[in-house]
Structure 1
């Protein structure tokens, strides 16, 4: 809870709440599936059976897979950032790259100057 009020964003909150978000997405998809089946049966029984057995589960599975892939991508990016920060810390806090004569990193060359 303390990390939510960290205005310098030193700690990532997403890994701790990602499970809750995924459960909420699954619950919303389930409620949407039930609502669409009820609406389809009100339209006609044939369409209701089609939505119940084919269209509804297909829709839910595709959206659940997309949500899972998006959340996994977000977690992978966060873990990459955490691991990179740890590697910089272990290397002594210096930024990677060539070092100038003054001891700092070499600025990139300007491609617009000859």
Structure 2
């Protein structure tokens, strides 16, 4: 039992949920088919033809929702792995940026933009 919640159980539960949803939809269609033919042949034929279409549509909506949830969980898992990998590595800012001979810490973009800003600065 994982009381620290370090391992996600959602991927296993999503597979179970999707499989149970498919079984419930199939059983629901069969029950609706019997009830439809009990109500009359037109209703039964309508359920026979449209029932699988509706069931497949519902199953695809369930699948999309499950995939969205699974994507969120996988993002959380990957983020947790990155945090663990980065925990030992100290991120340090460089003392100076390469290509900056004065060591002012300016980026190359700032240096490229200075000639374009020169006429504006001189006007002041």
TM-score normalised by L of structure 2? 0.66
Q: Distance in 2 between matches of 1:8 and 1:70?
A: 27
Alignment of 1:1-114 (within 5 A): 5-54=1-50, 56-92=51-87
Provide structure 1 residue ranges, at least 5 long, that are not aligned to the other structure. Answer: 95-114
User: 1:93–1:38: structure 2 CA closer, same or farther, 3 Å change rule?
Assistant: farther
Shift of 1:38: 0.6
Q: Distance in 2 between matches of 1:42 and 1:85?
A: 56
Q: Distance in 2 between matches of 1:15 and 1:37?
A: 33
Length, aligned pairs only: 90
- Using a 3 Å threshold, how does the CA distance of structure 1 residues 59 and 93 change in structure 2: closer, same or farther? farther
- Which of structures 1 and 2 has the bigger CA Rg? 2
Report the RMSD for the aligned CA atoms in angstroms. 1.8
TM-score when normalising by structure 1 = 0.72
CA displacement 1:35-62 (0-9 Å, x = unmatched): 00111111110110011012x1122011
1:78 shift after superposition: 0.6
